[in-house]
Chain A
Amino acid sequence: MIKKFDKKDEESGSGSNPFQHLEKSAVLQEARIFNETPINPRRCLHILTKIIYLLNQGEHFGTTEATEAFFAMTRLFQSNDQTLRRMCYLTIKEMANISEDVIIVTSSLTKDMTGKEDVYRGPAIRALCRITDTTMLQAIERYMKQAIVDKVPSVSSSALVSSLHMVKMSFDVVKRWVNEAQEAASSDNIMVQYHALGLLYHLRKNDRLAVTKMLNKFTKSGLKSPFAYCMMIRIASKLLEETEGGHDSPLFDFIESCLRNKHEMVVYEAASAIVHMPNCTARELAPAVSVLQLFCSSPKAALRYAAVRTLNKVAMKHPSAVTACNLDLENLITDSNRSIATLAITTLLKTGSESSVDRLMKQISSFVSEISDEFKVVVVQAISALCQKYPRKHSVMMNFLSNMLRDDGGFEYKRAIVDCIISIIEENPESKETGLAHLCEFIEDCEHTVLATKILHLLGKEGPRTPTPSKYIRFIFNRVVLESEAVRAAAVSALAKFGAQNDDLLPSVLVLMQRCMMDSDDEVRDRATFYMNVLQQKQKALNAAYIFNAHVSEQWLLNGLLAGLSVSVPGLEKSLHQYTLEPSEKPFDMKTVPLATAPITEQKTEIAPVATSKLPEKLAPSRQDIYQEQLAAIPEFQGLGPLFKSSEPVQLTEAETEYVVRCIKHTFANHMIFQFDCTNTLNDQLLQRVLVQMEPSEAYEVLHYVPAPSLPYSQPGSCYSLVRLPEDDPTAVSCTFSCTMKYLVRDCDPNTGEPDDDGYDDEYVLEDLEVTVADHIQKVLKPNFGAAWEEIGDEFEKEETFALATVRTLDEAVNNIITFLGMQPCERSDKVPENKNSHVLFLAGVFRGGHDVLVRARLALADGVTMQVTVRSTDENVVDVILASVG
């Protein structure tokens, strides 16, 4: 009768959902009939469905009520109704985390899992594993092993998949089922094959040799499941990448052969794997691109989407490889699926000629409002790439971008546009004014603090150097009046920059600054007061130090003065703490604070790939802070002072050798520590007391070795050498060390890792290690190089001219100098404009001991490259060191 009622409801057009007005309490009340004898399967089934439906809707069940319902449900195992029993399994899985004592059903499930009814066995295994923990797993281990090799596919699959879920929790137990999984892999059923392969891989993935063997076996035996093929392709491409093996390896051949598989899924997976391989040549790409081209005309939208998305990826690195598909892509421009159309257009923008740009841009603007933010970001990325390729098109692009900026959109999308505009401004000086005008308009109504502060920073940097700086003041001051604290503070900093660089604007800026000093936020007030005082001094050097070259990004984290110094914040905290612990007469010395590493704040536009947009941006301590921590924990290295710089790791062995050793050079004020990260790749050896003996070529003195106590198979360990830098000759900055690894070998059983009792001493010659001038210099960014240059003065200036005979282009020369000196290029001078015969490179850094050093290199291209280097520093020795090392 109830049913009839519902039917009428539907006809009258209201509430066609029988579950719509379910009340949790009413349902739980109804659940009491579970206890009635005899069991009414139909009614019980209906109530269980309601419970699961409620859980699925996100209804919250308290522990007590859930437990009560769960226990009542266990009675239903007495019924033999198939659907009812299956719904009981589902209820168990759904309630595993909310009810207490769910293990009560273990015996019932074990009975079903080993019983005669095949329909129950698979689902029972999956429910059982859901409520089992490591200790209980051992109790059912025997059944699991049997189930994995069971001849009924659903039982075997269920056992394999459940085992896979258990790997996370009980790896050691599941590891013992490898043989059973191996047997299951040769099953005739395609899903069983797939699940067995997946489990085997998860159990063996840390053992590259075993994975390789497994892959060899399966590629020969020929699995039938397309899913398993996809999995094998992924394993193969991962192996290829790890071994960095050439593309002539059998693994690559396997992937390529999959391009001829009869399943589209496998063909696509193989093509995608080839496209994603690093260092793929155009010839290797060709077959993959041609299958993707075929997919472009498929009637299935998903396949067209997959193909064009992958082609889009190819076009980023190898636009020429995709040109063959241009015709097919043209056909997709009008695809009803806007995602496909967008991808097709952005791909064409990358591969097409300059003449087609206008047409494509017009096409895309016709539906840009219909597509999702993710794809709008793709469009912006494509525009960004285009601007680099065809700088002449920047006005078209700028127009388009400013329209997009006015549309609605989320943060990622707006950020991509702003970044793109900023990069255009930086690449094309003539677009600066239009770009800044668009951005000014944008911040008038911008809800994203991060973007507003970023644009204000840019305005502060670029605005004062434009022909009419005064027109930006209004936009900036509007921010001070209207926005949140962070934006106001950024606006104050930007204003200060105008005041510092434009004498005629200074009086008005001071008036505005005065008003900011009455702000309700203390950070804004502090800044205004600080800048007010600096500006009133009217000294260029002060302005340079505290206004132009301050790190604005960190500025509102730190107060006033600190902002002018490029030190690492955790380092400063530690130094100050240390200082307060040791009472001393000396004033605190700022030079003892480690410098902030990686000053890459001169942001080159970086638009995050769409896929990573969800990654949280954590404020992790920098790599150097981590090293500092690690080294400070070693007693032998006390009293060396703060860590000045840590180099990138240098490989001292070939990739495929018995022992893999890489070295990180840590520079201190008067010492260096060499950290050798060693890995033993022989599974039948245990190394002990490992150290790297170093023979210096210069007056460097090895003070101490800290050996790695033990180095078992494939577990990396570190040993250290402490070296004193020559004190009498400060210009001796470069040195070559010949390195030998010395250790005690103990042979051991590859399976158990049990070593023999006695061992023997052995050694292994490593490649030479170079210490160069770059190891003594830390990069520091000076956003306004000219001001910094004046500030440092010409007291210790030296100049010399060199001829670089072997260098053929300015680009090459610039890159060589930057890598050699390890200094930070400023003012984007690392980019050489095209078709120029001369160039000036500005480099900034801090030398070990805390001396600022600036280098100006004028380069001229004739037969070779002639270079005139001018070095300024606060210390004479440093100037000599730099010139001596360049020579």
Chain B
Amino acid sequence: MTAQSCPRQHCATTMDSAALEPTLYTVKAIFILDNDGNRLLSKYYDPDLYPSMKEQKNFEKNVFNKTHKADNEIAFLEGMTIVYKSSIDLFFYVVGSAQENELMLMAVLNCLFESLSQMLRKNVEKRTLLDNMDGVFLVVDEIIDGGVILESDPQQVIEKVNYRADDNPLSEQSVAQVLQSAKEQIKWSILK
């Protein structure tokens, strides 16, 4: 081509390589939305990426609008690679830079989903998730630390978090049981 275009080409290659800078900081953001696109949990690890809450929520809205209709697993929006997965009324997203290895992001997403699925005993839906929100926070904390992948094996994550889910329904059940047995006792005492 012309002599003029050479510096620009050079520019392009250096930009590419700058982006492939070896680093452990793989994940730019991670978030879980409900089926109306409302944020249930979200973490941004790159302080330069959407520093304000407003920008973050706009980004989430945009991502949700573009992804919630088709379960396509991967998208490229606002210069970022986004891998995602949905389950009943929940949407899970992992965001990385345009040059990031898509499979690494997938590994994070799968780990997040598998861990939550195990923790919530396969009830990966909004209500159960919110009832065990503390466990969800802990799971995310064990998978990613400041953008670095801390663990990618769901089994390990579950062991580390060591969280007993469905605590609440159990206790509720026990209250019901207590009531039931009290009723029985009363019944028997009346019958007697």
Q: How far is the CA of A17 from the CA of B41 in the complex (A)?
A: 13
Also in contact, A201 and B138, with CB within 8 A (given A122-B160, A306-B102, A604-B5): no
Q: How far is the CA of A448 from the CA of B47 in the complex (A)?
A: 29
Q: How far is the CA of A138 from the CA of B146 in the complex (A)?
A: 22
Question: Does A63 lie at the interface of the complex (its beta carbon under 8 Å from any beta carbon of B)?
Answer: no
Also in contact, A614 and B150, with CB within 8 A (given A3-B168, A19-B133, A306-B102): no
Contact in complex: A276, B134 (CB < 8 Å): no
Q: Mark B1-44, 1 if CB is under 8 A from A, else 0.
A: 01111001000110111011111100000000010000101110
Q: Within the complex, what minimum Cβ distance (angstroms) separates A252 from chain B?
A: 15
Which of A263-271, A469-477, A727-735, A864-872 is the interface stretch?
A: A263-271
Question: Does B122 lie at the interface of the complex (its beta carbon under 8 Å from any beta carbon of A)?
Answer: no
Contact in complex: A339, B72 (CB < 8 Å): yes
Contact in complex: B130, A301 (CB < 8 Å): no
Contact in complex: A302, B130 (CB < 8 Å): no
Question: Does A234 lie at the interface of the complex (its beta carbon under 8 Å from any beta carbon of B)?
Answer: yes
Q: Within the complex, what minimum Cβ distance (angstroms) separates A613 from chain B?
A: 5
Residues of A within 8 A of B107 (CB): 265
Contact in complex: A268, B101 (CB < 8 Å): yes
Task: Give the most central of A52, A164, A237, A264: most B CB within 10 Å.
Answer: A164
Contact in complex: B79, A198 (CB < 8 Å): no
Q: Mark A137-157, 1 if CB is under 8 A from B, else 0.
A: 000000000000000001001
Residues of A within 8 A of B145 (CB): 126, 158, 161-162, 165
Question: Does B66 lie at the interface of the complex (its beta carbon under 8 Å from any beta carbon of A)?
Answer: yes
Task: Give the most central of A123, A205, A305, A610: most B CB within 10 Å.
Answer: A305
Q: Within the complex, what minimum Cβ distance (angstroms) separates A528 from chain B?
A: 34
Q: Within the complex, what minimum Cβ distance (angstroms) separates B190 from chain A?
A: 26
Complex partner residue of B20 from A86, A199, A238, A301, CB under 8 angstroms: A238
Q: Mark B77-94, 1 if CB is under 8 A from A, else 0.
A: 111000100000000000
Residues of A within 8 A of B131 (CB): 18
Also in contact, A87 and B137, with CB within 8 A (given A58-B57, A613-B79): yes
Contact in complex: A268, B103 (CB < 8 Å): yes
Contact in complex: B70, A336 (CB < 8 Å): yes
Contact in complex: B17, A614 (CB < 8 Å): no
Q: Mark A286-318, 1 if CB is under 8 A from B, else 0.
A: 000000000000001111011001000000000
Question: Does A374 lie at the interface of the complex (its beta carbon under 8 Å from any beta carbon of B)?
Answer: yes
Q: How far is the CA of A604 from the CA of B39 in the complex (A)?
A: 44
Contact in complex: B2, A830 (CB < 8 Å): yes
Residues of A within 8 A of B15 (CB): 609, 611-612
Question: Does A490 lie at the interface of the complex (its beta carbon under 8 Å from any beta carbon of B)?
Answer: no
Q: Within the complex, what minimum Cβ distance (angstroms) separates B113 from chain A?
A: 13
Q: How far is the CA of A336 from the CA of B57 in the complex (A)?
A: 27
Q: Within the complex, what minimum Cβ distance (angstroms) separates B82 from chain A?
A: 10
Q: Which residue of A lies closest to B8 (CB)?
A: A606
Q: How far is the CA of A474 from the CA of B45 in the complex (A)?
A: 52
Contact in complex: A227, B103 (CB < 8 Å): no
Contact in complex: A17, B76 (CB < 8 Å): no
Q: How far is the CA of A284 from the CA of B141 in the complex (A)?
A: 42
Residues of A within 8 A of B130 (CB): 16-19
Question: Does B163 lie at the interface of the complex (its beta carbon under 8 Å from any beta carbon of A)?
Answer: yes
B122-139 interface (Cβ within 8 A of A): 126-127, 130-131, 133-135, 137-138
Also in contact, A374 and B4, with CB within 8 A (given A126-B145, A161-B148, A164-B24): no
Contact in complex: B134, A49 (CB < 8 Å): yes
Complex partner residue of A198 from B77, B137, B148, CB under 8 angstroms: B148
Complex partner residue of A3 from B5, B34, B162, B172, CB under 8 angstroms: B172
Residues of A within 8 A of B66 (CB): 372
Q: Which residue of B lies closest to A819 (CB)?
A: B3
Question: Does A212 lie at the interface of the complex (its beta carbon under 8 Å from any beta carbon of B)?
Answer: no
Contact in complex: B133, A831 (CB < 8 Å): no
Q: Which residue of B lies closest to A241 (CB)?
A: B17
Complex partner residue of A238 from B21, B149, B151, CB under 8 angstroms: B21
Residues of A within 8 A of B191 (CB): none
Contact in complex: B76, A375 (CB < 8 Å): yes
Q: How far is the CA of A336 from the CA of B102 in the complex (A)?
A: 18
Question: Does A56 lie at the interface of the complex (its beta carbon under 8 Å from any beta carbon of B)?
Answer: yes
Complex partner residue of B162 from A4, A45, A119, A303, CB under 8 angstroms: A119
Residues of A within 8 A of B186 (CB): none
Residues of A within 8 A of B168 (CB): 3
Question: Does B184 lie at the interface of the complex (its beta carbon under 8 Å from any beta carbon of A)?
Answer: no
Contact in complex: A164, B103 (CB < 8 Å): no
Contact in complex: B106, A17 (CB < 8 Å): no
Contact in complex: A614, B75 (CB < 8 Å): no
Q: How far is the CA of A263 from the CA of B156 in the complex (A)?
A: 20
Contact in complex: B20, A276 (CB < 8 Å): yes
Also in contact, A45 and B134, with CB within 8 A (given A57-B39, A119-B160): yes
A825-880 interface (Cβ within 8 A of B): 825, 830-831
Question: Does A533 lie at the interface of the complex (its beta carbon under 8 Å from any beta carbon of B)?
Answer: no
Q: How far is the CA of A447 from the CA of B134 in the complex (A)?
A: 47
Also in contact, A302 and B73, with CB within 8 A (given A17-B130, A86-B138): yes
Residues of A within 8 A of B57 (CB): 58
Residues of B within 8 A of A818 (CB): 3
Q: How far is the CA of A316 from the CA of B28 in the complex (A)?
A: 28
Also in contact, A234 and B22, with CB within 8 A (given A123-B141, A610-B79): yes
Question: Does A230 lie at the interface of the complex (its beta carbon under 8 Å from any beta carbon of B)?
Answer: yes
Q: How far is the CA of A202 from the CA of B23 in the complex (A)?
A: 8
Residues of B within 8 A of A276 (CB): 16-17, 20
Contact in complex: B74, A161 (CB < 8 Å): no
Question: Does A329 lie at the interface of the complex (its beta carbon under 8 Å from any beta carbon of B)?
Answer: no
Question: Does A231 lie at the interface of the complex (its beta carbon under 8 Å from any beta carbon of B)?
Answer: yes
Q: Within the complex, what minimum Cβ distance (angstroms) separates B112 from chain A?
A: 14
Complex partner residue of A90 from B16, B83, B97, B137, CB under 8 angstroms: B137
Also in contact, A265 and B77, with CB within 8 A (given A53-B133, A604-B4, A815-B3): no
Residues of A within 8 A of B180 (CB): none
Question: Does B181 lie at the interface of the complex (its beta carbon under 8 Å from any beta carbon of A)?
Answer: no
Residues of A within 8 A of B133 (CB): 19, 49, 53
A639-672 interface (Cβ within 8 A of B): none
Contact in complex: B103, A17 (CB < 8 Å): no
Q: Within the complex, what minimum Cβ distance (angstroms) separates A280 from chain B?
A: 11
Contact in complex: B78, A374 (CB < 8 Å): yes
Residues of B within 8 A of A164 (CB): 24, 148
Q: How far is the CA of A376 from the CA of B178 in the complex (A)?
A: 63
Q: How far is the CA of A94 from the CA of B16 in the complex (A)?
A: 34
Question: Does A10 lie at the interface of the complex (its beta carbon under 8 Å from any beta carbon of B)?
Answer: yes
Task: Give the most central of B39, B42, B149, B164: most A CB within 10 Å.
Answer: B149
Q: Given contact pairs A194-B149, A227-B104, A302-B105, enumerate 10 new A-B contacts (beta carbons under 8 Å).
A: A87-B134, A157-B150, A191-B150, A202-B23, A227-B149, A230-B104, A268-B101, A276-B17, A302-B73, A302-B103
A-B contact pairs, 14 of them (CB 8 A): A17-B130, A119-B162, A195-B148, A198-B148, A202-B24, A237-B17, A265-B107, A276-B16, A305-B73, A305-B74, A337-B70, A604-B4, A609-B12, A818-B3
The 3 closest A-B pairs by CB, nearest first: A198-B24, A58-B53, A301-B73
